[in-house]
Amino acid sequence: MVRISDRITVIQGDIVKLEVDAVVNAANSTLLGGGGVDGAIHRAAGQELLEECKGLKGCATGEAKITKGYFLPAKWIIHTVGPVWQGGQKGEDSLLASCYRKSLELAREYTIKTIAFPAISTGAYNFPSERAAGIAVSEIAKFLQGNGLPEKVFLVCFNKETCRNLQEAFSGVFEV
Within 13 Å and on the Cβ side, how many CA atoms surround 83? 21
169 binds ligand ADP (CB under 6 A): no
Collect all residues with Cβ–Cβ distance below 8 Å to 8 and sequence separation of at least 6.
137, 140, 141, 144, 152, 153, 155, 170
51 binds ligand ADP (CB under 6 A): no
Among 69, 123, 134, 150, binds ligand ADP (CB under 6 A): 123
Provide the minimum distance between the beta carbon of 116 and ligand ADP in the complex, in angstroms, as a whole number.
8
Among 124, 128, 142, 168, binds ligand ADP (CB under 6 A): 124
Q: Which helix (H) or strand (E) holds 162?
A: helix 160-174
Q: Based on CB atoms, which residue is closest to ligand ADP, 37 or 135?
A: 37
Provide the minimum distance between the beta carbon of 40 and ligand ADP in the complex, in angstroms, as a whole number.
4
DSSP 8-state secondary structure symbol assigned to residue 62: T
Q: Based on CB atoms, which residue is closest to ligand ADP, 29 or 171?
A: 29
Beta bridge partners of 102: none
Provide the minimum distance between the beta carbon of 129 and ligand ADP in the complex, in angstroms, as a whole number.
7
How would you classify the pairing of strands 22-27 and 76-81?
parallel
- Helical spans, DSSP H, in 3-154: 36-45, 47-54, 92-109, 129-146
Q: Amino acid identity, residue 132? A: A
Size of the site for ligand ADP (CB under 6 A): 21
Are 120 and 100 within 8 A, CB to CB?
yes
SS3 34: coil
Among 158, 163, 169, 173, binds ligand ADP (CB under 6 A): 158
Maximum distance among all alpha carbons in the chain? 45
Provide the minimum distance between the beta carbon of 27 and ligand ADP in the complex, in angstroms, as a whole number.
8
Question: Is 38 part of the annotated catalytic residue set?
Answer: yes
100 binds ligand ADP (CB under 6 A): no
Binding-site ranges for ligand ADP (CB under 6 A): 14-16, 26, 36-38, 40, 82, 118-125, 156, 158-159, 162
Catalytic residues, which ones?
38
